Structure 1
Amino acid sequence: MLKPPINRMGGKSKLRKTIINMLPDHVCYVELFFGAGWVYFGKDPAKVEVINDIDKELINLFRMIKYHAPEIKRMLQYEFSDRDIFEEYKNYSLENLTEINRAVRFLYLITQSFGSKCGNYGYGTNAVPKQQIFHTETLNDLKERLKNTYVENLSFEKIIDKYDREYTCFFADPPYFETAGYGNEFGEKEHLLLRDKLSNIEGKFILTINDNLQVREWYKDFNLKEVEVNYSVSRNEKARGKYKELIITNY
């Protein structure tokens, strides 16, 4: 069971064992909203696997780890935690960077920012700065895990159309409904499109989402499992605590 190279808002670190234990038998495994990839990096590899996300920089990172892990490892050995470096990376013009440079930049920003949001430099009054940007010795393991995986950067509906078979298992962890903080617009229209696409697949799906009355109505014809998750990454102490989520399946 590998640890992902990054954290991501809404990541499934606390739920991945539950989700993995609920996965049905499958030949093809597809993650529609990859994020940090907690479930993918925790499960046993399937014959065919697909990771997809609409975030180009995130997908570029995993693609570069898959194909150029040694060079990323070489470049990271010179990096250290520093506010000025963080701001410089944040303001880089991406068109002037190679794909490998973009991957290192993204990895630096997401590991050195508060809440892994790439926005503000992360610091503390009761913790020392990180001595390493990333534990590069794990890159080879990540590269090996990604070796036989298709890495896609498409909309979720296109991925469903391309990979849906009776032996396919889709894992969907979309931005939560009516919850702020996600970079991409994902409102009721997108949630309904996802529901409609998943309702008509030949394969199986498992979906995680916040427990919401509207969501319960949308998926009332499927199997709903209630779970509680403790979230602690927030500047606002009131925002921390246990929250109810749903795991929804069509099997």
Structure 2
Amino acid sequence: MDETIYTKPVLKWAGGKSQLLGEIIPRMPETYNNYIEPFFGSGAVYFAIAPEHAVIADSNPELINLYRIIASDVEGLISLLATYENTKERFYSVRAVDWKDMEPIEAAARTVYLNKTCFNGLYRVNRKGLFNTPYANNKRTVFCDEAEIRKAAGLLKSAEIICGDFHEVLMERVKRGDFVFLDPPYVPVSKYADFKRYTKEQFGEEDQRKLAEDVKTLHERGIKVMLTNSNHPLVHELYEDFKIEVFKTRRMINKDANNRTGEDVIVTTY
């Protein structure tokens, strides 16, 4: 797969799907009406396939603010990013400001800057909802790729961007003929694999079971669904009625460099 033809995600993202695109895209339906993605994250799949009609959503309001700003005022965002510096002092001074106290465009610039200059692009917040990933100290980091941000803006302008819970999006926005791609926070398979602190509320087993019930409901309505998750017994239990394929993947966030491989599953209901 020649990745140069694709629009790249604006953000780095722990668990992002860039490395699985070669497995995900060939397994997608050849035709569908709307593309629906309620756990958007970095949007690697969306940016790769560039669907004409899409509903993209996430429960993370800071993330949704960023994508709305990219769609509505990309030049203003780029201008603001140009004022930032990749230094430890600037990083921690920016991190100390609560994004909710900023103007939307300033908050969006903060999101990109912190994501690009923090450790491994790990979006993590504490129980108060405050970003707490440390500085990466990588002076080669480019935190304002103007060309890629503009390409992303071109795609996001045509999408409906929603801040909301996955259940509401799936039950209220999906229609027969649509295609749903689900990339929820993974079921943890090791002590270093907890990516659940994506918002201050965590995504636990109850949420995983609720999502599986929604997938079954959509399937009964004749809607095609693809889902990714970790290769965990719970995932096999929840989706035993559907096709489950296992793939080796890299876990670049792991503290142990010798233990950075894992296994993802792709579930398809069609």
TM-score by length of 1: 0.93
Partner of 1:249: 268
Equivalences for residues 151-162 of structure 1 within 5 A:
151-162=161-172
Q: Which amino acid aligns with 2:181?
A: F
Quick check: 1:33 aligned with 2:33?
A: no
Equivalences for residues 1-251 of structure 1 within 5 A:
1-24=6-29, 25-46=31-52, 48-117=53-122, 119-123=133-137, 129-130=139-140, 132-178=142-188, 179-183=193-197, 184=199, 185-201=202-218, 202=221, 203-241=223-261, 243-251=262-270
Q: Which amino acid aligns with 2:211?
A: L
| Distance in 2 between residues matched to 1:192 and 1:57, nearest whole Å | 26
Distance 1:22 1:123, change over 3 A: same
Please give the secondary structure, in 2, of the residue aligned with 1:50.
strand
Q: Which amino acid aligns with 1:160?
A: L
Please give the secondary structure, in 1, of the residue aligned with 2:113.
helix
Aligned CA RMSD, in angstroms, stands at 1.5
| Distance in 2 between residues matched to 1:15 and 1:81, nearest whole Å | 30
User: What is the aligned length?
Assistant: 245
Percent identity for Structure 1 against Structure 2: 26
| Distance in 2 between residues matched to 1:117 and 1:247, nearest whole Å | 23
Cα deviation 1:61-116 (Å, max 9, x = unaligned):
11100001010111112222011111111111334310000000111111000021
TM-score by length of 2: 0.87
Whether the aligned pair in 2 keeps the contact of 1:31 and 1:170 (CA below 8 Å) is yes
| Distance in 1 between residues matched to 2:144 and 2:254, nearest whole Å | 22
Runs (5+) with no aligned partner, structure 2: 1-5, 124-132
Whether the aligned pair in 1 keeps the contact of 2:50 and 2:155 (CA below 8 Å) is no
Shift of 1:131: 6.0
Runs (5+) with no aligned partner, structure 1: none
